[in-house]
Amino acid sequence: AGLRRDEVAVLAGISAEYVTRLEQGRDRHPSVEVLDALAGALGLDAEERSHLGMLAARGTAAAALDDELDPSVQTLIDSWPLTPAYVHGPRHAVIGANRLAVALSPSFGPGGMPARDLFLDPAVRNLYRDWDAVARKAVALLRSELAAQGGDGEALRDLIDELRSTDERFAELWAENDVRRSSVGATLLRHPIVGDLDLNYQKFAVLGAAGQMLVTYHAEPGSQTEDRLRALADTRHPA
């Protein structure tokens, strides 16, 4: 923040005229060396450097995005009785879930859109005791995934544009330009049936299926949350 164009150029060891061409989109193919120099001048960390590289590679060929869930993945998550799990596609719509995920939140069921509902559905918003922390991570993930999808990310961009125009907090977080992806961590829920749940989450890219992400939640063994997940699994809920 606060650096002038000529100052960026001096720090990166490139000409101010070339920085201008990059800013104006008149040069869309900077070399790896130029990207590294700019990243150093701007003080980017490893994750931000990776994001910059994805932005620069948008014009390259990429694997077609995949909205079809492999049946074997559905079989796998169905075999986890105490682990809520769902898979979302590249457009952030859920394409597969197990019964416990649906019991945790209908938003996690097939056809749901957890990222959208996090901001626009009051029931989902109230589910999270740590809503703002979850929202911040969700926005950073969306920005990172949009860069990774490049020209194929039109549907994801439509979702982002909708959220920017309809939710003030989303717009504020989007303006922060955070790209840090959080693939593991803790989240705190307040479930309307079984009460407070202290869960750990992990996210895994589904190999061989471009743009798909497996999201899982688990409790510490022997904890009260594990007992409550077991009670939730025993309740009647949609498949």
Contact partners, residue 192, CB within 8 Å, separation at least 6: none
Residue 205 predicted with pLDDT over 80? yes
The answer to whether residues 119 and 167 touch, using CB atoms and an 8 Å cutoff, is yes
Q: Which residue has the higher pLDDT, 30 or 236?
A: 30
Query: Averaged over 135-154, what is the pLDDT?
Result: 84
pLDDT at 236: 64
Helix (H) or strand (E) holding 190: strand 184-191
Q: Which residue has the higher pLDDT, 33 or 173?
A: 173
User: How would residue 151 be classed by pLDDT, with cut points 50, 70 and 90?
Assistant: low
Query: Averaged over 212-234, what is the pLDDT?
Result: 96
The answer to whether residues 110 and 96 touch, using CB atoms and an 8 Å cutoff, is yes
User: How would residue 60 be classed by pLDDT, with cut points 50, 70 and 90?
Assistant: very low
Structure tokens at 127: 């589910």
User: How would residue 99 be classed by pLDDT, with cut points 50, 70 and 90?
Assistant: very high
Going by their DSSP bridges, the two strands 213-218 and 195-205 should be labelled as antiparallel
**Residues paired with 221 in a beta bridge:** none
pLDDT at 162: 95
The answer to whether residues 159 and 91 touch, using CB atoms and an 8 Å cutoff, is yes
Q: Which residue has the higher pLDDT, 41 or 63?
A: 41
Q: How far apart are CA 159 and CA 164, in angstroms?
A: 9
pLDDT at 59: 47
Predicted structure pTM score: 0.74
